Structure 1
Amino acid sequence: MREQAGASRKCPREGRPCSRCVASRCSASAASSRRPLDGRATARPVDYLHSYADLVRWARHADLVDAATAVRLDGGDSALRTAVELREAIFQVFSAIGRGDAVPAASLAVVQARYAEAAAAGHLVSRGSGFVWDFDGSAPGRAWWPLAISAVELLTHGPLERVKVCALQTSCIGLFLDTTKNRSRRWCTTEGCCLDAKLERQAARRKAARAAG
């Protein structure tokens, strides 16, 4: 069964079309369940990708592959390492963009190399008034090919000015696309990091009040 990448998809947390990937197809990533890595800025981040089977499950939840393809995919540690390397390279590239820093050349080279691999494995097909990437087969890289394509689409077509790093610097530093009209969004999720930041501020005020009291 063939699948196509490039069509507008609804972000599972925001409920509206996600224009491109940022680090994980969309800022919510891993669909409505979880990201492939949480708490990146903490001393003990939680990585959910421990095996190739975990990668396939994440790819299915993130809508990178359909159910029929997910059943067929099989790979080992090497395929998992490649996917994790791509994930980290994408994070380094877009977090630098979100902060206005220089993009690490080594990370950009990884993204470019994986994009070339994905492009070589797929082909363009007409859809509506444009074209999308079409993938078939069951090679281990099938789980992350659409991610590499989406990352380069965002790099080359933008909107890079809307790439942001979550303001919850104490734990999250996740990436997201700010689709608000005035680009005022600061948190990757309103029900998660925004609430956590509010609770942190409340706790800080109480601590300050006790110290002054």
Structure 2
Amino acid sequence: MGFPSLYGGLTCLDFANTVDGRALPEPEEHLHDYADLVRWAAYADLLDTETAHHLALLAKARPQAAAASYTAALRLREATFRLCAAPPAANDLALIQQGYAEAMSTATLTPAGTHYTWTLAGDHLDRAWWPAAVSAVELLTTDRLARVKVCASSGGCDGLFLDISKNGSRRWCDMGTCGVEAKISRQTARRRAARRTTP
């Protein structure tokens, strides 16, 4: 299975973008079960190979717990999307806060070159999506939240991205896809208009 490119600029936004075409009648879901969740987390470099393999084995041994973790991950994903792009539900902040608190309750400070970093426990099924919860809280508690945008594509994309351009002018999630589509659409509209005005 191919996952969408990581164009969000932040882990929580990339996680929200695991649904393609949210504004379409039939959006494309990329995470169908816990196994997909682990594969995506590895794809997004949130899990190393060893941890991903361990979680996959743990999920096979505890299928009900894995299914519950998958459901919790999707709840977190949708809460993140709504807080960034749509009217949030009453408990969206609580869901994100709970995920963050659970993740950090397992974290330990470990050396990382010239500084230290938080390392999350790798023996819990929720480890596959905890980084998205941590990322969401980090986003919501900084002024970067004001720079989160929804793709302006007319094709129903609704992808989230962090606009880090100097003048805040970025409009599309990915210039190679939605940006190109928008450019082609504008060119087609100009040609049609030119034909209508040509004697």
Q: Is the 8 A contact 2:79 2:88 kept in 1?
A: no
Partners of 1:53 and 1:139 lie apart in 2 by 14
Change (3 A) 1:49 1:13: closer
Q: State the partner residue of 1:108.
A: 93
Tell me the SS of whatever aligns to 1:159. helix
Q: Residue 44 of structure 1 is aligned with which of 8, 17, 26?
A: 26
Question: Can you give the 5+ residue segments of structure 1 that lack an aligned partner in the other structure?
Answer: 1-11, 30-34, 97-101
Q: Aligned partner of 2:107: which letter?
A: G
Relative to the length of structure 1, the TM-score reads: 0.75
CA displacement 1:42-96 (0-9 Å, x = unmatched): 1111101111111111000011101111111133321211111111111111124
Q: Is the 8 A contact 1:21 1:154 kept in 2?
A: no
Partners of 1:133 and 1:174 lie apart in 2 by 29
Tell me the SS of whatever aligns to 1:24. helix
Q: For 1:76-155, what aligned pairs fall within 5 Å after superposition? A: 76-96=66-86, 103-127=88-112, 130-155=115-140
Q: Residue 158 of structure 2 is aligned with which of 166, 173, 182?
A: 173
Tell me the SS of whatever aligns to 2:96. helix
Question: Can you give the 5+ residue segments of structure 2 that lack an aligned partner in the other structure?
Answer: 60-65
Tell me the number of residue pairs that the alignment of Structure 1 and Structure 2 aligns.
Answer: 185
Q: Comparing both structures, which one devotes a greater share of its residues to helix?
A: 2
Relative to the length of structure 2, the TM-score reads: 0.80
Change (3 A) 1:169 1:89: farther
State the structure with more CA Rg: 2
Partners of 1:23 and 1:169 lie apart in 2 by 20
Q: Is the 8 A contact 1:38 1:46 kept in 2?
A: yes
Superposition CA RMSD, Å: 2.6
Change (3 A) 1:95 1:169: farther
Identity across the alignment (%): 46
Q: State the partner residue of 1:63.
A: 45
